[in-house]
A and B are shown apart, each in its own frame.
Chain A
Amino acid sequence: MSTVAEQTRDSGAVVDIRGLNTRFGRNVVHDNVSLSVQPGEIFALVGSSGCGKSTLLRTIIMLLQPVAGSIRVFGQEVLGLRDEEALPLRRRWGVMFERGALFSSLTVAENVGMVLREHTQLSARLIAEVAAMKIALTGLPADAGAKYPSELSGGMRKRAALARAIALDPELLFLDEPTAGLDPLSASGIDELVRSLRNALGLTIMMVTHDLDLLWRAADRVAVLGEGHILGIGTMEELSRLDHPIIREYFYGPRGRAAREQAWKKK
């Protein structure tokens, strides 16, 4: 945000974005966006629909090319990286897509095992065991592993996608809308899961979400995106005290208030 921040690079950060510009044709999505994610942090990106949250996430994981700027992940510049150079980096992160993106022709266990088969030399038996363990870790029942993605409910599919994202024990996990389209019970299950994964595995998590409950309960720091800029960045309490109209609308709309009150009650 500040010009000082643009010059000083945060060398300890897991993800460090400086002066990012993204454009689709004449439509400016990001205009000079800078932010950094610290190790072990649960970092959330919020903002209204179409403000470029998912675009930012897709740019970091090298699915989109920005017009200008710099993105460093684990201290390495990802823009302009060739495929073979990107591979070691890709092994260190896991991505969970909004709609799961599970391979529909493979069972859930095969989906998880496929990542292990591609990147390790483990035996088929150990791969099957580790896959089943990851599936159990995400809270899916034991028989879910043998099912195909089409046979699962939306919430189970999200959990299966999460199991695939953590298959290689990544240090950094990207979650795109982890609770979207879930019932409140499943969604709060995901809250717990995200936090317990971070605590147990020491992950750094970067997520895009609309879910205010998830933000209050799981996120350490939150960045609000709007109008192509970062409007605010900080903990939820800090953000809720900021005076930007869009942020106030976001946090003090009817749903924002309810989630906030609930979060206060918990404390």
Chain B
Amino acid sequence: MTAEQIAQLVIEMDPASATAAARLRCAGAWVVQGIAQLERRLEALPLTGEGNAVIDGSAISALDTSGAWLLHRITRKLEQRGRSVEINGLRPEFSTLLKLVASSATAAENPLPPIPGLLVRIGQQTWRHLLELSGMLSFIGECAIILLRSLMQPRRIRWRPVLHNLQTAGFEALPITGLLSFLMGVVIAYQGASQLERFGANVFIADLVGLTMLRELSPLLTAIIVAGRSGSAYAAQIGTMKITEEIDALRTIGVRPQELLVLPKMLALIIALPLLTVYTDATGVLGGMIMARAKLGVSFDVFFDRLGDAVSLSSFLTGVCKAPVFAAIIALVGCHQGFQVTDSADSVGRQTTVSVVQSIFLVIVADALFSVAFNWLKI
């Protein structure tokens, strides 16, 4: 950048007397791209003293609002130190600009809002979380009422979106859930094989794979995948609809958003997740079975014989009966977080993340509670 393109300020002052007049000669381009250097030097400039100050602006080649603001700031600083300031030689269009900027100055005096203290922030956060909790509870309550009302009048249920959700959340999840559970079966059989081989208890691989998959892993794994796949989609969809005021539009038309948006999703997931769980039970056991033959030489016939003895109907049912509960958790959390979106793109991303984290967390907590309850009931 040449000297022409940057703002310059030369101060002529008599160092001997503090009351002498100071002369400030401004030159160059006082524009947003040219004032950075001057601004950095400004703090160090000797502007003290009491006498009059004359600012000579005749050599300013260009001035924009940012440059004018800087000039205004220098003037104000001089005035605050008790000098009276006179500006000379400024081109008429520049002095108009300076006046315009100075007129908006009062607003710019204190641009930074105060930052609240630690205690205030802790209080605000606590209050926010409490509100969130009560919001979640009332959301669950509302949804439960609407669910009961709809179940009493099944004609009012919107079956089209239910079927659509069955397809997107259920049918389209078949490949990924099937593949992952198959691999999980392979891994469990592989890990178990070397242990069982040591005791010559090869055939018990069917117990190991069957029980872990059917009772625990397959429902949990499916729920986690569905939470990541569909729970996040629910939050993002409802959140975006909230930003575009579609939710408000639904309310004004007289349609409850929960009835149209939450209920079909929840019903579809409550139907889809147990079915998916049965399917992942099968693929998981299949994975284990293939591994058992490859690693331990347990043939499919022997494996099936053993599986029938090892896994009772109740073991299968304990796994599957968790699925509807997980489904309700995922749908409720996803939709609720969607409704929590405020008017910014940022907030859609945040609530979507929260929905996945919260639903996976709650699914695992619920699974633990199930384990305790089943243990207590001796199932």
Output the least CB separation between B148 and chain A (Å): 35
Give Cα distance in the complex from A145 to B112, angstroms. Answer: 9
Within residues 183 to 226 of chain B, which ones have a CB less than 8 A from any CB in chain A?
none
The answer to whether B35 touches A131 (Cβ under 8 A) is: no
> What residues of chain A lie closer than 8 Å to B106, measured between beta carbons?
136, 142
Within residues 83 to 138 of chain A, which ones have a CB less than 8 A from any CB in chain B?
104-105, 109, 116, 119-123, 126, 128-137
How would residues 141 to 169 of chain A score, 1 for a CB under 8 Å from any chain B CB and 0 otherwise? Answer: 11001101110000000000000001011
Within residues 108 to 125 of chain B, which ones have a CB less than 8 A from any CB in chain A?
108, 110-113
A104-B346, A128-B112, A150-B344 known; A169 vs B35 contact (CB < 8 Å): no
The answer to whether A121 touches B36 (Cβ under 8 A) is: yes
Q: Secondary structure of the A side of the interface?
A: helix
Within residues 40 to 75 of chain B, which ones have a CB less than 8 A from any CB in chain A?
40, 64-66, 69-70, 73
Give Cα distance in the complex from A133 to B67, angstroms. Answer: 12
A134-B65, A150-B342, A202-B93 known; A129 vs B36 contact (CB < 8 Å): no
Output the least CB separation between B215 and chain A (Å): 45
Flag the segment in B79-87, B97-105, B252-260, B281-289 that touches A: B97-105
Output the least CB separation between A175 and chain B (Å): 18
Output the least CB separation between B240 and chain A (Å): 12
- Interface status of A200 (Cβ within 8 A of chain B): yes
Give Cα distance in the complex from A202 to B94, angstroms. Answer: 11
- Interface status of A201 (Cβ within 8 A of chain B): yes
By beta carbon, the residue of chain A nearest B113 is A146
The answer to whether B100 touches A200 (Cβ under 8 A) is: yes
- Interface status of B31 (Cβ within 8 A of chain A): yes
- Interface status of B107 (Cβ within 8 A of chain A): yes
> What residues of chain A lie closer than 8 Å to B31, measured between beta carbons?
169
The answer to whether B36 touches A120 (Cβ under 8 A) is: yes
> What residues of chain B lie closer than 8 Å to A133, measured between beta carbons?
65, 69, 101, 104-105, 107-108
The answer to whether A132 touches B108 (Cβ under 8 A) is: yes
Give Cα distance in the complex from A58 to B41, angstroms. Answer: 41
How would residues 202 to 239 of chain A score, 1 for a CB under 8 Å from any chain B CB and 0 otherwise? Answer: 10000000000000000000000000000000000000
Output the least CB separation between B52 and chain A (Å): 26
The answer to whether B107 touches A129 (Cβ under 8 A) is: no
Give Cα distance in the complex from A134 to B105, angstroms. Answer: 10
The answer to whether B97 touches A200 (Cβ under 8 A) is: yes
- Interface status of B138 (Cβ within 8 A of chain A): no
| Among candidates B36, B97, B344, B347, residue contacting A201 with C-beta atoms closer than 8 Å | B97
| Among candidates B32, B65, B112, residue contacting A137 with C-beta atoms closer than 8 Å | B65
> What residues of chain A lie closer than 8 Å to B113, measured between beta carbons?
146
- Interface status of B343 (Cβ within 8 A of chain A): yes
> What residues of chain B lie closer than 8 Å to A148, measured between beta carbons?
343-344
Give Cα distance in the complex from A250 to B221, angstroms. Answer: 64
The answer to whether B40 touches A130 (Cβ under 8 A) is: no
Output the least CB separation between A163 and chain B (Å): 11
> What residues of chain B lie closer than 8 Å to A109, measured between beta carbons?
111
The answer to whether A104 touches B107 (Cβ under 8 A) is: no
| Among candidates A128, A150, A199, A201, residue contacting B111 with C-beta atoms closer than 8 Å | A128
A126-B39, A200-B100 known; A132 vs B107 contact (CB < 8 Å): yes
The answer to whether B100 touches A137 (Cβ under 8 A) is: yes
- Interface status of B345 (Cβ within 8 A of chain A): yes
- Interface status of B312 (Cβ within 8 A of chain A): no
The answer to whether B111 touches A122 (Cβ under 8 A) is: no
By beta carbon, the residue of chain B nearest A199 is B96
A104-B346, A105-B344, A200-B96 known; A132 vs B35 contact (CB < 8 Å): no
The answer to whether B343 touches A104 (Cβ under 8 A) is: yes
> What residues of chain A lie closer than 8 Å to B299, measured between beta carbons?
none
| Among candidates A121, A130, A196, residue contacting B69 with C-beta atoms closer than 8 Å | A130
Which are the 4 A-B pairs with shortest beta-carbon distances? A150-B343, A104-B344, A136-B104, A105-B346
A129-B69, A129-B108, A137-B65 given; 12 more Cβ-contact pairs under 8 Å: A104-B345, A122-B32, A128-B111, A129-B111, A130-B66, A133-B107, A134-B65, A137-B100, A148-B344, A169-B66, A201-B65, A201-B97
What are 23 A-B contacts with C-beta separation under 8 Å? A105-B344, A119-B33, A120-B36, A123-B39, A123-B40, A129-B73, A130-B69, A131-B111, A132-B108, A134-B65, A137-B65, A142-B106, A142-B108, A142-B110, A146-B113, A149-B343, A150-B343, A166-B65, A169-B64, A169-B65, A169-B66, A196-B100, A200-B96
